[in-house]
Each structure stands twice: as C-alpha cells, then as structure tokens.
Amino acid sequence: MNKGKLIIWDCDGVLVDSEWIGARAFTDIINELGGQLTVSEVYHSLKGGDIYKSIQFVKEQVTIRDDAEIVARYRKLSSELFEKELKQVSGVEKVLSSTTKHRCVASNGPRIKIFENLRITGLMKYFEPHTIFSGHDIQSFKPEPHLFLMAAELMGTNPDSCIVIEDSLHGANAASAAGMFCFGYCAETEPEAFSALGATPFHSMDELLQYLM
C-alpha cells in the first residue's frame, strides 16, 4: 500500500457532506426557471464537476440570460443552506486527528467556499490557509491534473509521494493523470468504477484510517 508523504484531500464529499445540499440549490434554481428535475438527477449530473460545467448543465435545462446572475444566485442560496445544514462527513475528523502526515486540500470549489465549509464544520483547525488550493486559483479543474500537481509542488512533495482522497471519478481521473495514488470513497460511486481508474475504493472513514496508519 502507498504510504505517501502528503495526503491531498478533496473537500466536497470527503471532508464536508455538501454535495447533496449544493444539488438542492441548483435544483431549486432550475425548477424556478421552469425546469422539472429532481435533486437526484441534478446531483448525479453535477457530482465532482466545477461551477462552469454546472452552469452549462443549467443552460441545457432552461433558458437563462446571464450566467453571472445564476452563479450569484447559486452562491447565495447554497451559502444559506450550508450555514444551516452542513456537517462533516461521518468519521472524517477521526482520520484527521489520528494521522500525522502532511495534508492539504485541493478542490474545484472557490477558495472562499472551501474556507467557509471547513469553518462551519469545525475542520479548519486541521489545515493551514496556505495548504488550501482551489481550481479557481489556476482556472484548471478536475479531471485535469493541474490542481493536484500545483498542490504537490507548493507543498514540496513529488507527485508519486502523494495520496489523494476523492469521492468522484473526476477526482480519481485527475489523480491518475497526475501520477498520484488515490483512495476513492464509495459513498455515492461504485467501487468498480474507482478500481477501473486505478484507485483503491473504501466504504467508510474507519476503513480509510486503517489504510493510512
């Protein structure tokens, strides 16, 4: 098993349980504009993507005049929902408090969202501000590998000494392309799909902790 020197955490879906909440926000927006989608349909269409792909998905469902207006509406609505409902992924704090490896976060989400979600869930204490990386910093998003490669470089670690913790196939693809070992959280993704990308699937944070110890 890869014992890497640096653990690179995705945020949504492995640190914070945010993806269904975000899907609800986009579902509300789509249906307010005349669409007819369920939260499940939106969730499975957007999982692991970035805001630009999400807006493109909205445009495929309904007619919108201004992309920026939809982004602003989503940010406001999702922020309100996160503040009220966002929680840690079950068991993740045990992993963070039990492992001594260097760690960072690399997420497709904007930096302010990552900081806020970690603050709301009480997980910010496990990360320094300079160890949080956003695809918006370089305008490159998973499944492209550049975000992971940037994180490894700025953390002073070779890609082949990194362990990525992901819950989406976009993230597992990015890890593979970056030459990094990946653990795939099977909360909403089939283990066979992760295995096909060379990632090691896991089903609970207790299981992940055993791999990392």
Do 87 and 78 contact (CB within 8 A), yes or no?
A: no
Let me know how long the chain is: 213
Residue 92: strand pairing partners: none
| Cα distances (Å, whole numbers) of residue 40 to 23, 75, 120, 176 | 8, 20, 24, 27
Catalytic residue among 10, 12, 17, 167: 10
Nearest C-alpha neighbor of 181 from the set 91, 101, 121, 108:
101
Give the 3-state secondary structure of residue 37: coil
**Residues 85, 86, 90, 96: what is their CA dihedral angle, to the nearest 10 degrees?**
-150
Nearest C-alpha neighbor of 174 from the set 204, 126, 150, 141:
141
Per the annotation, the verdict on 167 as an active-site residue is no
Residue in the block written with tokens 């929680």 = 87
Burial class (CB in 10 A: 0-12, 13-18, 19+), 199: buried
Give the 3-state secondary structure of residue 201: strand
Give the residue numbers marked as catalytic.
Answer: 10
